[in-house]
Amino acid sequence: MSAHVRAVAAVRELRAALRPAARLLRSVSHQLADRRREQAASAPTSSAGARGPKRLILESALAAANSLQAPIVSS
């Protein structure tokens, strides 16, 4: 097997292994956008009730990770 064929096979295998992580990132991104829209729609009059973007990202990432059906990296 030539080096090129092995490289192409390795790239395909890597892409397949990274697909679940990419799905998770898309899910987190969509959840974050949804939360930002919800937060903007119901923005409190004072900043005391507002949550920062870092907290929204963390909450979205945790929610997406908790909803995962399979591990991100399979062995």
**Pairwise CA distance, residues 28 & 68, whole Å:** 11
Q: How confident is the model at residue 35, as a pLDDT?
A: 86
Q: How confident is the model at residue 57, as a pLDDT?
A: 79
Helix/strand/coil for 68: coil
The model's pLDDT over 28-57, given as tens digits with 9 standing for 90+, comes to 888 888 888 888 777 665 554 556 777 777
Q: Is the pLDDT score of 6 beyond 80?
A: yes
Buried b (16+ CB within 10 A) or exposed e, 26-58: ebbeebbeebeeeeeeeeeeeeeeeeeeeebee
The structural domains of the chain, with segments of one domain joined by +, span: 3-66
**Higher-scoring residue by pLDDT: 62, 21:** 21
**pTM of the full predicted structure?**
0.48
- Residues 8-32: what's their mean pLDDT? 90
Helix/strand/coil for 24: helix
